[in-house]
Amino acid sequence: MIEISLKKGLLLENISLRLPWGANYSELREIGGPEIRVFDGRGVSPRSYLLIWRDAMILSGIKAVVSTHVRGSQTRRPKYYGKRMAWLRIDVDRTHFSNARQEYRWLLQMLMRR
């Protein structure tokens, strides 16, 4: 069993690499070859990037899709949409759940067992 520690970031256990909190786009794109989607700001806001790690193993064996959205360097709201990673989205396989409440309870149980 892998020790869970979120102090420095989220460990992608299947590739033994960590997504560090506060990492910028240049750093994140080099970690495990994520799928990258580019969104053009259309002159209003800077270009942004969605980075997706599919089939990731996290939190001691939970299979998930992990993603984060990072904007370009010129932003007015760096706390939320800055050029550094501010949040991660974690999606687990939903085919076994009939609703979000069931999924939440399952994930909570999985984390409590670890």
Tens-place pLDDT, residues 2-61: 566 778 888 999 999 999 888 888 888 999 999 999 887 666 566 788 899 999 988 888
- Please, what is the Cα angle at 31 between 35 and 10, to 5 degrees? 100
Q: What confidence score (pLDDT) does residue 46 get?
A: 67
The pTM of this model reads 0.72
Q: What confidence score (pLDDT) does residue 35 get?
A: 95
- CA 89 to each of CA 13, 48, 68, 74: distance values in angstroms, whole numbers, following the listed order: 16, 16, 6, 23
Of residues 77 and 107, which shows the higher confidence score? Answer: 107
Question: Tens of pLDDT along 44-89?
Answer: 566 788 899 999 988 888 888 899 888 764 333 333 334 556 567 7
What is the DSSP-derived secondary structure letter of residue 114?
-
Show the tokens assigned to 62.
């939970």
Q: What confidence score (pLDDT) does residue 64 get?
A: 87
